[in-house]
Chain A
Amino acid sequence: MEVNSIENGIVIDHIRAGSGLKLLSHLGIDTRTDTVALIMNATSGKHGRKDIIKIENLLDVDLTALGLLDCGATVNFIEHGKLVRKIKLSLPERVVGVIRCKNPRCVTSVEPAIPHVFLLVDPDTEEYRCEYCDESVRVNER
């Protein structure tokens, strides 16, 4: 299968196989008219299988949220057909407005206009805690 290289935009590589759709959905690109490619289960020397996303003419992405969704992926920024920046994603220390607290006793369940904030507790288990009520969540269990 052949997917052309892009002139300007991003390539998210080394996505855990099967997570590509989730990342794509989070990027909210369904209203864009630019070219978007999602390659699923591509052969990977390192992981066996991986997903890849290519989006043309998009350079502004929320790396914090992407890191939360797949901390093993890399984001390549392409300008004029050249790789200008490569970022290996990592689990963010503080996440605002991505994870929702499910504790019905948490203040976020009643107070309007406050962001849901989660802090990284343990990178190995991908565990976060709500800044308000301490409720913990493992990001892959959401």
Chain B
Amino acid sequence: MGAPRGLKGRSLLEPGDFTPGELAELFDLADEITESPERYAEVAKGKILAALFFEPSTRTRLSFETAMLRLGGQVIGFSEAQSSSAAKGESIADTVRTVGCYSDITVIRHPKEGSCRVAAAASDVPVINAGDGGHHHPTQTLTDLLTIRREKGRLTGLRVGLCGDLKFGRTVHSLIRAMRVYEGTEFVLISPQELRVPAYVIRDMEERGCPYEETQDMRSGMRGLDMLYMTRVQRERFFNEEDYIRLKDQFLLGAEQMRWAPSSMIVLHPLPRVNEIAAEVDADPRAVYFKQAKNGMYVRMALICALLGLAAR
């Protein structure tokens, strides 16, 4: 199987950048790579991925680096802004333009919203948004969608619950933007009043006529769900520590809460978790968040192949 042709040379800045058809091709490729990784072990030989992480990351950065290494390519970059020229006051555009001279594809994580768009405008090579502040995280969305497709067998007709920090949770914003295009999607948004989804995310759902409900009651919100997407309340997004402490433990998922859930409801989490999912849930077959992490590597391998136009030999 070759890489989806329409994606070669393009960037991925937000989930809506790819059509459902292009996503389906990408997920088919991820399935193929998962089944026959040896066929893809050297497709990126001679290619270099630049990983520009202006903000700390463990799994996204390692997932991208592992993906490139498993494809036979190499990785350059930095993992914090202090070890880059940003510490000297260099602009994002200049950093990306310069690094694009050395590499074939650029992955960027930056705390400012929309930073990836500045990067893509300055770059001659494809740019992948690995998280721009509290805005979007499209490769986590690819991971989420691939996991849902594998676990539920479809992406249509799903009742999707999202719980926790829906205001600053970029993975939530991206997942809603991606899933609203699939027929029959319904959203249940479970969050404290202060951490409700931003207006533009509400607009995203309304534009597509997606039914949604907002609630602060986890028990009623879980009724009839096909999947529950748990998120962490992120300390680093708060200007005020008191607000963080007040809100962080409002929605916790433990064995008791799992008894309220349908037997077919899967639980996803972008990770890392703190305490919002108790360790006792890990053994529940409905908990798929560690499978999700592995899927993330495969879908990033597929994405790199697609944007660079690499095909199995």
Q: What is A's interface to B at a CB cutoff of 8 Å? A: 103, 105-114, 121, 129-136
- Complex Cα distance, B133 from A59, in Å, reads 44
**Chain A to chain B: the 7 pairs with minimum beta-carbon distance, closest first:** A132-B114, A133-B113, A107-B112, A134-B200, A107-B114, A107-B115, A133-B114
> Are the CB atoms of A105 and B93 closer together than 8 Å?
no
- Complex Cα distance, B190 from A8, in Å, reads 62
Closest chain A residue, CB of each to CB of B173: A134
> Are the CB atoms of B93 and A136 closer together than 8 Å?
no
**Residue among A103, A109, A113, A133 with most chain B CB within 10 A:** A133
> Are the CB atoms of B199 and A136 closer together than 8 Å?
yes
Contacts of A114 in B (CB 8 A): 93, 118
Shortest CB-to-CB span from B116 to chain A, Å, is 9
Q: Please name 21 pairs of A and B residues whose Cβ atoms are closer than 8 Å in the assembled complex, sorted by A.
A: A103-B113, A105-B112, A106-B113, A106-B114, A107-B114, A107-B115, A107-B118, A107-B132, A108-B114, A109-B112, A111-B91, A121-B203, A129-B200, A131-B114, A132-B117, A132-B118, A133-B133, A134-B135, A134-B198, A134-B200, A136-B200
SS of A interface (majority): loop
Check if B110 is an interface residue, CB within 8 A of chain A.
Answer: yes
Contacts of A113 in B (CB 8 A): 91, 93
> Are the CB atoms of A133 and B91 closer together than 8 Å?
no
Say yes or no: A107-B92 contact (C-beta < 8 A), given A130-B114, A134-B200, A136-B199: yes
Contacts of B199 in A (CB 8 A): 136
Q: What is B's interface to A at a CB cutoff of 8 Å? A: 91-93, 110-115, 117-118, 132-135, 198-200, 203
- Complex Cα distance, B144 from A5, in Å, reads 66
> Are the CB atoms of B91 and A112 closer together than 8 Å?
yes
Shortest CB-to-CB span from B196 to chain A, Å, is 15
> Are the CB atoms of A133 and B135 closer together than 8 Å?
yes
- Complex Cα distance, B14 from A131, in Å, reads 12
Shortest CB-to-CB span from A75 to chain B, Å, is 32
Contacts of B111 in A (CB 8 A): 105
**In the complex, which of the residues B110, B134, B200, B203 contacts A107, with contact meaning CB atoms closer than 8 Å?**
B110
- Complex Cα distance, B118 from A130, in Å, reads 13
- Complex Cα distance, B203 from A107, in Å, reads 22
> Are the CB atoms of A111 and B117 closer together than 8 Å?
no
Shortest CB-to-CB span from B197 to chain A, Å, is 12
> Are the CB atoms of B117 and A107 closer together than 8 Å?
yes
Say yes or no: A111-B92 contact (C-beta < 8 A), given A106-B113, A131-B114: yes
**In the complex, which of the residues B91, B117, B134 contacts A105, with contact meaning CB atoms closer than 8 Å?**
B134
Contacts of A109 in B (CB 8 A): 112
